[in-house]
């Protein structure tokens, strides 16, 4: 019997944010491998399954174990929060597999199951901040040299991308978000809208709408994504919006019968 490996996205937190494909795959899985806190988020779906949990920073070990289980013939799922291919485990899993000599012809199938990433989950909670060009940048310099991250921040700020900052801050990494703010302030107004969203779609979700000048004064943790608007983004009536650029304000006002 041949095993299979599903690299499965669980979304930001709530079970209803899983796709139908992810649910079906979990239902038929024999073994589920993942970071303990993420396994906790999908605990009701793990009843009766073999579960292999591990701690933070044990990504390589998790991937190796999942690949070993799948290669031994088990229907194996390796989970990641958000989307498994966005700062997730999919890349590492393929590296481990390819190094072990796996190829699509070798009998074991590998599938990537996409999901809702923090960027679109957080965007949905604050309105429509991503309706124009945007990029994501991780501020974690554990695996990426800081000068590379700084170069990308500069380019994004300069090019007026709406920018989602992943891994903005941890108890030990506090300097990066301050530098990011400084870089953006050299290209955008201090009043540029910013959304600080923590634990989106989890029980303790927190949402703050603020601006570029004040964003570092907000509580920012490892569970936070920071969305920095572009030069046209605005906050009004409790929602953050980046206009798509359809027509002018006059045309929209006329269509809605509004007077401005």
- Residues at the interface with ligand SAH (CB under 6 A): 12-13, 80-83, 86-88, 117-118, 122, 166-168, 197-202, 222-225
User: Burial, 52: exposed, middle or buried (Cβ in 10 Å; 0-12, 13-18, 19+)?
Assistant: middle
We find the least distance from the C-beta atom of residue 119 to ligand SAH, in angstroms, to be: 7
Question: Which CB, 6 or 80, lies closer to ligand SAH?
Answer: 80
Question: Which CB, 64 or 81, lies closer to ligand SAH?
Answer: 81
We find the least distance from the C-beta atom of residue 150 to ligand SAH, in angstroms, to be: 18
Rounded Cα–Cα distance for residues 87 and 214 (Å): 27
Question: Which CB, 176 or 225, lies closer to ligand SAH?
Answer: 225
Which residue in the shown chain puts its C-beta closest to ligand SAH?
82
We find the least distance from the C-beta atom of residue 124 to ligand SAH, in angstroms, to be: 11
We find the least distance from the C-beta atom of residue 187 to ligand SAH, in angstroms, to be: 22
Is the four-CA dihedral 14, 16, 22, 27 of positive or negative sign? positive
We find the least distance from the C-beta atom of residue 122 to ligand SAH, in angstroms, to be: 5
Evaluate whether 38 touches 129 at the Cβ level (below 8 Å).
no
Rounded Cα–Cα distance for residues 163 and 113 (Å): 25
Evaluate whether 173 touches 140 at the Cβ level (below 8 Å).
yes
Question: Which CB, 3 or 140, lies closer to ligand SAH?
Answer: 140
Rounded Cα–Cα distance for residues 107 and 217 (Å): 53
Question: Which CB, 63 or 200, lies closer to ligand SAH?
Answer: 200
Evaluate whether 192 touches 162 at the Cβ level (below 8 Å).
no
């Amino acid at each position: 019997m041949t095993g299979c490996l599903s690299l499965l996205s669980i979304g930001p937190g709530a079970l209803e944010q899983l796709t139908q494909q992810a649910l079906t795959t979990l239902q038929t899985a024999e073994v589920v491998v993942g970071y303990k806190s993420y396994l906790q988020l999908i605990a009701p779906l793990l009843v009766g399954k073999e579960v292999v949990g591990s701690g933070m920073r044990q990504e390589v070990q998790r991937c190796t174990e999942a690949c070993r289980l799948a290669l031994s013939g088990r229907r194996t799922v390796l989970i990641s929060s958000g989307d498994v291919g966005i700062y997730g485990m999919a890349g590492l899993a393929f590296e481990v597999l390819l190094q072990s000599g796996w190829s699509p012809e070798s009998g074991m199938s590998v599938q990537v199951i996409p999901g809702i990433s923090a960027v679109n989950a957080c965007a949905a909670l604050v309105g429509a901040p991503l309706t124009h060009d945007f990029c994501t940048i991780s501020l974690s310099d554990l695996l990426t040299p800081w000068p590379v991250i700084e170069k990308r921040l500069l380019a994004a700020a300069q090019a007026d991308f709406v920018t989602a900052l992943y891994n903005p801050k941890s108890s030990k990494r506090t300097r990066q978000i301050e530098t990011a703010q400084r870089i953006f302030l050299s290209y955008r107004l201090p009043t540029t809208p910013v959304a600080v969203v923590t634990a989106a779609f989890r029980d303790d979700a927190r949402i703050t709408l603020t601006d570029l000048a004040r964003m570092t004064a907000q509580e920012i943790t490892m569970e936070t994504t920071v969305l920095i608007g572009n030069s046209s983004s605005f906050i009004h009536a409790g929602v953050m919006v980046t206009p798509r650029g359809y027509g002018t304000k006059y045309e929209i006002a006329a269509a809605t019968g509004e007077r401005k």
